[in-house]
Amino acid sequence: MTTSTKQGYRFRRFEEFACISSRIHQFHPAVILLAAFSYITLLTSFPATAVIELAPYFLFPILLAQFARIPLKPLFASTLKVLPMILLIGFLHPFLDKELAYHGSMELNRGWFIFISLMLKGFLTILMNFLMISILGIGGLQKAMKSMKIPPLFFMLFTLIYRYIMLLLEDLYRTLRAYELRSGRKPRLTRNEWGSLPGGILIRTYEQGLRVQHAMELRGFNPAHPYGSVQKLSIPDIVFIMLWLSLVVLFRIYSLPEVLGSVLVAFCGEGAGLGVLHG
Amino acid sequence: MAESCIRVDSLSFRYENGGQVLSNISFSLSRGSAVALVGANGCGKTTLLWLIAGLFEAESGSIYIEEILLNRRNTRTLQKKLGLAFQNPDDQLFMATVQQDVEFGPRNFLLPEQEIQHRAREAMHRTNCLHLADRPPYRLSGGEKRMVSLATILASDAEILLLDEPTNALDPRARRTTINLLRSLPHTKLIATHDLDMVLDLCDEVILLNHGTIAAKGPSREILSNGPLLEAAGLELPLSLQG
- A215 → closest Cβ in B86, B100, B134: B86
| pLDDT value of residue A272 | 54
Task: Quote the pTM value.
Answer: 0.74
Q: What's the full length of chain B, in residues? A: 243
**Among A90-99, A203-212, B38-47, which is the least confidently predicted range?**
A90-99
Length of chain A: 279
- Do the Cβ atoms of A52 and A103 come closer than 8 Å? yes
pLDDT of residue B212: 93
Q: How far apart are CA B181 and CA B129, in angstroms?
A: 12
Question: CA–CA separation, A41 vs A57, rounded Å?
Answer: 12
| Top mean-pLDDT range of A183-197, A225-239, B88-102 | B88-102
Q: Do A211 and B97 touch (CB under 8 A)?
A: no
Q: Which of A12, A216, A220 faces B80 most closely, judged by CB atoms?
A: A220
Which value, to the nearest 10 degrees, does the dihedral of the CA atoms of residues B124, B166, B50, B207 take?
-130
Q: Does A207 touch chain B (CB under 8 A)?
A: no
| Class of residue A151 by CB neighbours under 10 A (exposed 0-12, middle 13-18, buried 19+) | exposed
The closest of A33, A15, A61 to A230, measured between CA atoms, is A33
Q: pLDDT tens, B114-167?
A: 999 999 999 999 999 999 998 888 889 989 999 999 999 999 989 999 999 999
Alpha carbons B187 and B182: distance in angstroms, whole number: 9
Nearest to A212 among B83, B94, B107 (CB): B94
Q: Provide φ and ψ at B234, rounded to 5°.
A: 80, 20
Cβ-Cβ pairs closer than 8 A, A with B, add up to: 71
Q: Which of B77, B76, B96 is nearest to B140 (CA)?
A: B96
pLDDT at A3 over 60: no
Cα separation of B83 and B154, whole Å?
A: 8
Is there a domain that residue B20 lies in?
Answer: no
Beta pairing, strands B213-219 & B34-38:
unpaired
Within a domain: residue B15? no
b (16+ CB within 10 A) / e for B37-73: bbbeeebbbbbbbbbbbbbbebeebebbbeeeebeee
**A220 and B108 in contact by Cβ < 8 A?**
yes
Burial classification of residue A8, based on how many CB atoms lie within 10 Å of its CB (0-12 exposed, 13-18 middle, 19 or more buried) = buried
> For residue range A147-172, what is the model confidence (pLDDT) as tens digits?
888 877 777 777 778 778 878 888 88
Cβ-nearest to B104 among A12, A219, A222? A219
For chain A, what percentages of helix, strand and coil (3-state, to nearest 5) are there?
75, 5, 20
Contact flag B108-A16 (C-beta cutoff 8 Å): no
Is residue B63 situated within a structural domain? no
Rg (CA), chain A: 24
CA distance B162 to chain A (A): 12
Question: In this predicted model, which residue has the larger pLDDT, B99 or A183?
Answer: B99
**CB of A155 closer than 8 Å to CB of A226:** yes
- pLDDT for B78 beyond 70: yes
Q: Is A146 exposed, middle or buried (0-12, 13-18, 19+ CB in 10 A)?
A: buried
Residues forming a β-bridge with B25: B11
Q: Where are the alpha helices (DSSP H) in chain B?
A: 45-52, 75-79, 98-108, 113-126, 142-155, 172-184, 196-202, 220-224, 227-232
Nearest CA in chain A to B75: A218
Counted domains in chain B: 1
Domain that holds residue B130: 33-54+80-238
Amino acid (1-letter code) at residue A13: R
Chain A residues 115-144 with a CB less than 8 Å from chain B: 137, 139
Give the minimum alpha-carbon distance from B188 to chain A in angstroms, rounded to a whole number. Answer: 17
Instruction: Compute, in degrees rounded to 10, the torsion defined by CA atoms B125, B130, B132, B134.
Output: 130
A227 touches chain B (CB under 8 A): yes
pLDDT for res A10: 66
Distance, in Å, from the CA atom of B119 to the CA atom of B125, rounded to the nearest integer, reads 10
Which residues lie below 8 Å from residue A271, measured CB to CB, with a gap of 6+?
A: none
d(CA A55, CA A108): 19
In the predicted structure, residue A279 carries a pLDDT above the cut 70: no
Q: Which residues of B touch A219 (CB under 8 A)?
A: 104-105, 108, 152-153, 156
CB contacts, 8 Å: A221 with chain B: 104, 108
- The single-letter DSSP state of residue B59 is S
Residue B55 sits at the chain A interface (C-beta within 8 Å): yes
Instruction: Single out the residue of A228, A248, A229, A168 nearest to residue A200, CA to CA.
Output: A168
B97: chain A residues, CB-CB within 8 Å: 16, 19
SS3 A208: helix
Contacts of B154 in chain A (CB under 8 A): none
Whether A277 shows a pLDDT value over 50: the answer reads no
Confidence of residue A1 (pLDDT cuts 50, 70, 90): very low
The per-residue pLDDT for range B232-241, each reduced to its tens digit, is 999 999 988 8
∠ CA A260-A264-A267, nearest 5°, is: 140
**Cα–Cα distance for residue pair A25/B137, rounded to 1 Å:** 21
CB of A220 within 8 Å of any CB in chain B? yes
Tens-place pLDDT, residues B189-230? 999 999 999 999 999 999 999 999 999 999 999 999 999 999
Tell whether the model's pLDDT for residue B110 goes beyond 70: yes
The Cα–Cα gap between A266 and A272 comes to 10
Q: Return d(Cα A170, Cα A146) in angstroms, integer.
A: 28
Distances in whole angstroms, Cα of residue A111 to Cα of each of A48, A53, A83, A90: 10, 17, 18, 9
What is the end-to-end Cα distance of chain A in Å, rounded?
A: 68
Q: Minimal Cα–Cα distance from B44 to chain A, Å?
A: 17
Mean pLDDT along residues A21-41: 93
Distance CA A109, CA B225 (A): 86
Of all residues in chain A, what percent carry a pLDDT higher than 70? 86
Q: With CA atoms as reference, report the closest residue to B108 among B56, B145, B140, B155.
A: B155
CA of A202 vs chain B CAs: smallest distance (Å) = 16
Cβ pair B94:A215 closer than 8 A: yes
pLDDT of the residue at A176: 80
Q: What SS3 state is found at A6?
A: helix
Q: Which residues from B are below 8 Å from A214, CB to CB? A: 50, 53, 55, 84, 91
According to the model, what pLDDT value does residue B115 have?
A: 94
Nearest CA in chain B to A17: B96
Higher pLDDT, A211 or A104: A211
Is B91 in contact with A212 (Cβ distance < 8 A)? yes
Closest in A12, A16, A211 to B86, CB measured: A211
Candidate from A211, A212, A219 with C-beta closest to B156: A219
Beta strands per DSSP E along chain A: 100-103, 106-109
**pLDDT for residue B200:** 95
Using the Cβ of B152 and the Cβ atoms of chain A, whether some distance falls under 8 Å is answered with yes
A204 touches chain B (CB under 8 A): no
- Of A244 and B94, the structure prediction assigns the larger pLDDT to A244
**Residue A267, Cβ neighbours under 10 Å: how many?**
10
- Whether B118 maps to a domain, the answer reads yes
The shortest C-alpha distance from A221 to chain B (Å) reads 6
How does residue A266 score in pLDDT terms, banded at 50, 70 and 90?
A: confident
pLDDT at A223 over 80: no
Measured between beta carbons, which residues in chain A are less than 8 angstroms from residue B83? 218
In 3D space, the residue among A172, A6, A215, A163 whose CA is nearest the CA of residue B89 turns out to be A215
**Residue B48 sits in a domain of what CATH number?**
3.40.50.300
> Can you tell me the mean pLDDT for A236-265?
88
Q: Would strands B213-219 and A100-103 be described as parallel, antiparallel, or unpaired? A: unpaired
Decide if pLDDT at A276 tops 60.
no
Angle at A184 (CA atoms; ends A178, A186), nearest 5 degrees = 90
Q: Which is it for the CA torsion B25, B31, B33, B36, positive or negative?
A: positive
- Using CB atoms, which residue from A12, A137, A208 is nearest to B91? A208
Give me the residue from B50, B91, B152 closest to A219, CB to CB: B152
A72-110 confidence digits (pLDDT tens):
998 998 888 888 888 888 888 888 877 777 776 777 788
